[in-house]
Amino acid sequence: MKLLVGLGNPGDRYAGTRHNAGFLVASRVAERHRISLKKKGYQGIYGVGRVAGEETTILLPQTFMNRSGSSVNAASRSLGVAPGDLIVIHDDLDLPMGRIRVRPEGGHGGHNGLRDIIAVFGRKDFVRLKVGIGRPERGDVTNYVLGRFHAGEQKLLPQLLDLAADAAEVILTDGVSAAMNKFNNCNLLESL
């Protein structure tokens, strides 16, 4: 069993915000593979199905970003998921909009959702799929990540979600190294 987790904040107030990039990508993967995200459990909503031939649970924690660890830990323990079979999709301020990055493990990099998962899960060796949202040129970072994508970003967003969903599928079928080789140097802005 693989566990694909999209990080974000629940509720209409946060829908479509930069910080919910993980929710958006995980939902795109679920949509592609006709996995309904309607089951309630693991302090989140989830669905189970096959993604690229792999039995996969897709989870959207409903605990708010800073408390994602309890949801991820509950699901991974209940499902018997090995750390290498846990893929966490999240927004990344240090990647420009239009970029994604796959990593086999690592620290939290200042991301509060990852910080909580590491603290509760007690491990760092799970796969990350980072979705670039860029940094604000000036102003408050919190307001930026909790803000909605502006018009220029909205045009690029469908392609970015598709690229990240493609990367998630490659992680599941061919492994992390293959996904890193294929996607870590992609830049959608260069292809426009």
* Strand-pair partners of 59: 5, 46
pLDDT for the residue 191: 61
Nearest to 63 by CA among 53, 74, 52, 54: 74
Q: Is 39 helix (H, G, I), strand (E, B) or coil?
A: strand
Q: Residue 174 contacts by C-beta under 8 Å, 6 or more apart in sequence?
A: none
Identify the architecture of domain 2-191 in CATH.
Answer: 3-Layer(aba) Sandwich (3.40)
Cβ-based burial of 38 (10 A; exposed 0-12, middle 13-18, buried ≥19): exposed
Q: Which of 19, 33, 90, 150 is catalytic?
A: 19
Residue with tokens 């992390």: 176
- Copy the structure tokens of residue 81: 């998921």
Residue 185 pLDDT: 86
Helix axes 151-174, 176-183, angle to 10 degrees: 150
User: So what's the pLDDT on residue 186?
Assistant: 86
Among candidates 110, 100, 72, which has minimal Cα distance to 180?
100
Residue 111: active-site member: no
SS3 133: coil
Per-residue pLDDT of the chain (192 residues; tens, 9 = 90+): 999 999 999 999 999 999 999 999 999 999 999 999 999 999 999 999 999 889 999 999 999 999 999 999 999 999 999 888 999 999 999 999 999 999 999 989 889 999 999 999 888 999 999 999 999 988 789 999 999 999 989 999 999 999 999 999 999 999 999 999 999 988 887 764
